[in-house]
Structure 1
Amino acid sequence: MDAYDEDSQALRGPDGSTGARRPQDQGDHERPPAREISGDPHGPVAQERSGDPHGHLAPESPGRPDGPSSRDGSGGPDEPPAPEPPPLPPAPRTGVAALSPRYQVGAAIALAVIAVGACVHLVMVFLSLAPANTVTKQHGKAIEEWVYPEFEQNWKLFAPNPLQQNIAVQVRAEVRMKDGGVRTTGWNDLSARDGAAIDGSLVPSHTQQNELRRAWDFFVSTHGPDNRPVGMRGALSEQYVRRIVVMRLYREDATSREGVIQRVQVRSRTTNVQPPGWSREKISDKPFYRVLPWWTVAADEAAGGVR
């Protein structure tokens, strides 16, 4: 085996002789300096560092502080941590919750009053339609005053023989003018004006459709053919019709607006609905009038709450 002499740079043979060093021997035994090795991960430097005879690099420790970055994407130990995002603002309150405590109490009280009123109304309407019982016998007058005439219920929609007549309510008045004289107006057809307002309207008023019609039905059902009241609700129906016609005159009649209404007279004009052309039925087309006596208008009705 050859021995390497560092001082003479020569090879000693088995007999101790020396000779010139061959280039191929130098390439086999001399290790190149580390600075001349490129960054090959499979080179001899990588083998020496890792201790792997196959030239694989040792896995990098996950907790190494000298790495370019940590696994969570943050910088090294010298970099400050990323700032936390600001907290989200609270969701705005809406509805009753957005009110102050004082107004919340007021809203709760108002809702409670509305709920109680709705329940009382439903009970009253139910008792007015229910068969006679102990409650209706003891509190019948209070139930009638609550329901009639605005909330009266009927079953005419399901009648086997519906109405086949056109009924128009008309009114005239005696008006005291500013000069002291009294003037009588002509007949005002209130039903015709309601019909003209409803005709062609996509959303007709409930008042224009039902107020005058229901008031007249209420009057007819509580009065006999001689126009005298029948039962306890007769006087109430008269007052109801009178207040409606006075209000309408002040609103729609020019003469009534210039003075003060003293008396009113109401009449109905009834005409039969004519049968179709293919029918052989013969029906009179002459109108029938029902004329009521003159009603004196009270002071509060003449120029008070209904004007």
Structure 2
Amino acid sequence: MDAYDGGSNARHGPDGPEGPAGPTAPTAPGVPAESGAPAAWGTPAASGAPTPSVGLAEESHPAAEPHLATELDPAAEPDPATSPRAGIAALSLRYQIGVALALAVVAVGACAHLGMTFLHVAPPNTVTREHGKAVDDWIYPEFEQNWKLFAPNPLQQNISIQVRAEVRDGEGGTLTTGWYDLSAEDGRAIDGNLLPSHTQQNELRRAWDFFLATHDGENRPVGLRGSLSESYLRRIVVLRLDRDDAVRAATGGRGVIERVQVRSRTSNVPPPKWSREKVSTTPAYRELPWWPVPADEAGGGVR
């Protein structure tokens, strides 16, 4: 066999391929070449052990990939203690306690109101028999509940609440304003409004229903709630007069409301054209007596 044959296992002489005159094998980066040992890439060494390739050499040295060391280093992760806080956690301890107390008060109030409303509409039971007066004091007059929506004969009348006032001007004289149609004002505010307020829809109407339920046909109060319904209706109409600037319109300047008078205008809803029913369309009025306005309400009502 030729000594220079590539398949020969004989040691090459000084003039062979590995000798000084032979070609020099490349050295893998980062791997020092040993004298007298084969250094070919990816080829078995003379002893039969595989020589690491370039890729394996690079993977075995984390320094060759700095980003890998950064990802594996726990010190490089953000510290939760130094991260910016948001929401209530960003407030100081004193304000956190204040917010917690405010939320607790709101939650307790909401639960109390829902509980009172449930007891009011629930059938008579032990709690209502024992604490019925407390429930009524909480519900009436602002939160009264009724079932008229499901009545077999719904209301077929238009009822308007109107008010006028007796005003004392700055010179000591007394003037009487014209009638203000408060129901018409609420109707104009609701018309075209996708989200009308509860006061525009129900406040005045429920106040009038409360008055009718606690007074007889002669406008005399029946029971203890009669005076409460009068003061409730009076406060509402005085607030509306102040909102409409009725005093300034009557006196041309400053003045004080001394008395108010409320009346209702009731008219039947006309039947449809195909109906043979005949009803009167003439409005009927119910005027209440003049009510004196207390001094604490004269400037625009108790707020």
What is the aligned partner in structure 2 of residue 271 from structure 1? 267
Check conservation: 2:235, 2:301, Cα contact below 8 A.
no
Q: Structure 1: which 4+ aligned runs deviate by more than 4 Å?
A: 67-70, 81-85
Q: 2:15 aligned with 1:32, yes or no?
A: yes
Which of 282, 292, 296 is equivalent to 2:288?
A: 292
Distance 1:232 1:39, change over 3 A: same
Task: Report Cα offsets for 1:24-72 as digits up to 9, x if no partner.
Answer: xxxxx9762502222469xxxxxx846xxxx94342269xxxx975623
What is the aligned partner in structure 1 of residue 51 from structure 2? 60
* 1:255 Cα deviation after fit: 2.3
CA RMSD of aligned residues (A): 2.9
Could you tell me the TM-score, scaled by structure 2's length? 0.77
Distance 1:37 1:195, change over 3 A: same
Check conservation: 1:222, 1:230, Cα contact below 8 A.
yes
Q: Name the stretch that deviates more: 295-304 or 130-139.
A: 130-139
Task: Report Cα offsets for 1:140-191 as digits up to 9, x if no partner.
Answer: 2222121111111111111111111000000011100011000011111110
What is the aligned partner in structure 2 of residue 255 from structure 1? 250
Give distance in 2, aligned partners of 1:258 and 1:161: 48
Give distance in 2, aligned partners of 1:186 and 1:155: 36
Distance 1:304 1:190, change over 3 A: closer
1:1-307 equivalence runs, <5 A: 32-33=15-16, 34-39=19-24, 49=37, 56-57=44-45, 58-60=49-51, 69=58, 71-75=60-64, 86-90=76-80, 91-252=83-244, 253=246, 254-255=249-250, 258-303=254-299, 305-306=301-302
Check conservation: 2:239, 2:301, Cα contact below 8 A.
no
| Matched position secondary structure for 1:224 | coil
Q: Name the stretch that deviates more: 197-206 or 86-95.
A: 86-95
Q: Which one has the largest radius of gyration?
A: 1
What is the aligned partner in structure 2 of residue 16 from structure 1? none
> One-letter code of the match for 1:246?
V
* 1:139 Cα deviation after fit: 2.6
Task: Report Cα offsets for 1:11-36 as digits up to 9, x if no partner.
Answer: xxxxxxxxxxxxxxxxxx97625022
Distance 1:300 1:143, change over 3 A: same
Could you tell me the TM-score, scaled by structure 1's length? 0.76
Give distance in 2, aligned partners of 1:268 and 1:261: 21
* 1:284 Cα deviation after fit: 0.6
| Matched position secondary structure for 2:165 | strand
Give distance in 2, aligned partners of 1:156 and 1:296: 33
> One-letter code of the match for 1:32?
D
Give distance in 1, aligned partners of 2:59 and 2:180: 95
Give distance in 2, aligned partners of 1:139 and 1:30: 118
> One-letter code of the match for 2:77?
P
Check conservation: 2:165, 2:257, Cα contact below 8 A.
yes
* 1:136 Cα deviation after fit: 2.5
* 1:138 Cα deviation after fit: 3.4
Structure 1 portions without partners, runs of 5+: 1-28, 42-47, 76-80
* 1:301 Cα deviation after fit: 1.1
Check conservation: 1:246, 1:306, Cα contact below 8 A.
no
Structure 2 portions without partners, runs of 5+: 1-11, 27-35
